Amino acid sequence: MRAAPAARAVGMITLVVTALLGSAYALGRTLVPDPPRSDSRVTTSADGPHYADQPPADNPPEPTPQNPGGDRGAGPTETGQDGYPAPSGRTTTDPPFHTQDTTGTQQVALTFDDGPDPQYTPQVLAVLRQHQVKATFCVVGENARNHPDLIREIVADGHTLCNHSWNHDVALGKRSPDAIRADLLRTSEAIRAAVPAAPIAWYRQPGGAWTSRVVTVAEELGMTSLHWTVDPSDWRAPGAGRIAATVVTGVEPGSVVLLHDAGGDRQGTVDALHRILPDLTSRFQVEALPNGAT
């Protein structure tokens, strides 16, 4: 009969020791710092500038009367549970600052940003050539300067050129009109150093971070500001399957599709084109935007 009190005492001691051990473990966890988080939206390497065509979260566009929330230009997009665009891939707001986001016809336009890139641009050109499709290339000035042979190849294949700023400055639209004008002129000069007679009828602001100021300057220089309708967020490198699915389900007559041939790992975009082009060309006329040549 005396075993019962002894057993109770042992049980109490066990509970106390367990509680003390748990408290010590919790205290230790609070003293260990969490591992640092990295922002994978912009990739870098030693072989050249890598851009992501969206402004970083800690540097959103400045709010304006037309854009009181400081949205990133593209407007909100419908997203799935995993954070990627829903299959429509279509922006839910009108194009900002009276930019153009459709072809204005039944034709569909594919646009490629941030190049030219010596690894991915030739692959994109080869796939377009295979399917006899003309596209629009929004080129960065410093890349045009560094790879004039690729600018010449783009033009030789009959594609349209678009000015995409000198070094992908997302904040360019907030700078002075003189600074914007100098940036755009420098970019156009780099393009024409490769192809002297190249018409440049379009301008696309990096990140879609439009302001009335940059649209006005582009217009003064004879360029129409080009936004987009379908964005598969290929700059995130979500994989060829997701890129292709977003484009083929989101395109409709007049769509302008935003893709990238530079600025990071674009192999997924190249691979997606092998699925996108057969589908789109079976349903639409896919053409480059008018280059303004007379």
Q: Is 265 a catalytic residue?
A: no
Among the residue ranges 7-16, 69-78, 219-228, the one predicted with the least confidence is 69-78
Tens of pLDDT, residues 61-89? 443 333 333 333 333 333 332 333 333 44
What confidence score (pLDDT) does residue 271 get? 98
Q: DSSP string covering the chain, please? A: -THHHHHHHHHHHHHHHHHHHHHHHHHHHHHSPPPPP--TTS--BTTB----SS--TTSPPPP-SSSTT---SS--B-B-TTSSBPTT-BBSSPPGGG-B-B-SSS-BEEEEES---TTTHHHHHHHHHHTT---EEEE-HHHHHH-HHHHHHHHHTTPEEEE--SS--TTGGGS-HHHHHHHHHHHHHHHHHHSTT--EEEE--GGG---HHHHHHHHHTT-EEB--SB---GGG---HHHHHHHHHHH--TTBEEEEESSSS--HHHHHHHHHHHHHHHHHS-B-PPP----
What confidence score (pLDDT) does residue 234 get? 97
- Indicate which CATH number applies to the domain containing 170: 3.20.20.370
Our count of domains for the chain comes to 1
Among the residue ranges 34-48, 214-228, 266-280, the one predicted with the least confidence is 34-48
What confidence score (pLDDT) does residue 145 get? 98
What confidence score (pLDDT) does residue 6 get? 56
In a domain, residue 118? The reply is yes
In a domain, residue 91? The reply is no
Give the pLDDT band of residue 94 (cuts 50, 70, 90): confident
Q: Is 260 a catalytic residue?
A: yes
In a domain, residue 7? The reply is no
In a domain, residue 194? The reply is yes
What confidence score (pLDDT) does residue 200 get? 98
pLDDT exceeds cutoff 60 at 212: yes
In a domain, residue 147? The reply is yes
The residue-averaged pLDDT of 160-166 equals 98
Give the pLDDT band of residue 292 (cuts 50, 70, 90): confident
| Catalytic pick among 53, 113, 114, 183 | 113
In a domain, residue 186? The reply is yes
Q: Which domain holds residue 267?
A: 96-283
The residue-averaged pLDDT of 126-145 equals 98
Among the residue ranges 37-41, 139-143, 166-170, 172-176, the one predicted with the least confidence is 37-41
Give the pLDDT band of residue 143 (cuts 50, 70, 90): very high
In a domain, residue 185? The reply is yes
In a domain, residue 2? The reply is no
The residue-averaged pLDDT of 283-287 equals 98
Give the pLDDT band of residue 95 (cuts 50, 70, 90): confident
| Catalytic pick among 147, 159, 227, 260 | 260
